[in-house]
Amino acid sequence: MERFDAILTRHGYSMGLVIGAAAVVLLGLLLLWRGEGPKLPTDRSRSGGGAMAPATQSAPRANDKRLAKLQGAYVQRLLADARRYDVALQPKKLFKAFPYFVTDGPWTLRAHRGRLVTRELRLTTEVRKLNTPLGTLGRYQAPTLVLTVENRTDDHIAFRVITRPSGKISCRNKATIAQTTFVLGPRGSLSRTECLATGRTDRLRVHHLDVMRIGALSYHYLVKLKPSSVLLPLRTSGGHRTPSGHTLCGSVPRQTIKQGVQAGTASWADVMDFYARYSCDRFDFRIGYRRSGPKPTKSPVIKPEP
Q: Say if 220 falls within a structural domain.
A: yes
- Shared-domain flag, residues 127 and 215: yes
For residue 135, is pLDDT > 90?
A: no
Question: What average pLDDT score do residues 101-122 get?
Answer: 95
Q: Say if 304 falls within a structural domain.
A: no
- Shared-domain flag, residues 111 and 179: yes
Q: How many domains does the chain have?
A: 2
- Shared-domain flag, residues 292 and 161: yes
- Shared-domain flag, residues 243 and 115: yes
Q: Which residue range is the domain that position 28 belongs to?
A: 2-94
- Shared-domain flag, residues 89 and 201: no
- Shared-domain flag, residues 105 and 245: yes
116 or 75: which leads in pLDDT: 116
Q: Which of 94, 109, 140 is at the close of a domain?
A: 94
Q: Say if 305 falls within a structural domain.
A: no
- Shared-domain flag, residues 217 and 267: yes
21 or 276: which leads in pLDDT: 276
- Shared-domain flag, residues 205 and 161: yes
Contacts of 67 (CB under 8 A, 6+ apart): 39, 40
Question: What average pLDDT score do residues 137-155 get?
Answer: 95
69 or 5: which leads in pLDDT: 69
- Shared-domain flag, residues 82 and 144: no
Q: Which of 45, 74, 94 is at the close of a domain?
A: 94
If DSSP codes are grouped into helix, strand and coil, which group holds residue 124? strand
| pLDDT at residue 304 in the model | 59
- Shared-domain flag, residues 165 and 289: yes
Question: What average pLDDT score do residues 117-127 get?
Answer: 97
Q: Which of 36, 61, 94 is at the close of a domain?
A: 94
- Shared-domain flag, residues 135 and 206: yes
User: How far apart (Å, rounded) are the C-alpha atoms in residues 94 and 273?
Assistant: 10
Q: Say if 170 falls within a structural domain.
A: yes
In this prediction, what percent of the chain has a pLDDT beyond 70?
A: 78
| pLDDT at residue 191 in the model | 98
Q: Say if 303 falls within a structural domain.
A: no
Phi, psi angles (nearest 5°) of residue 196: -70, 145
For residue 9, is pLDDT > 50?
A: no
Half-sphere exposure of 138 (CA within 13 A, CB side): 3
For residue 124, is pLDDT > 90?
A: yes
Contacts of 116 (CB under 8 A, 6+ apart): 107, 109, 122, 123, 206, 301, 303, 304, 305
pLDDT in tens, 12-58: 344 444 445 555 555 555 555 443 344 567 676 665 543 333 333 44
For residue 2, is pLDDT > 80?
A: no
Contact yes or no for 281/85 (Cβ under 8 A): no
- Shared-domain flag, residues 57 and 166: no
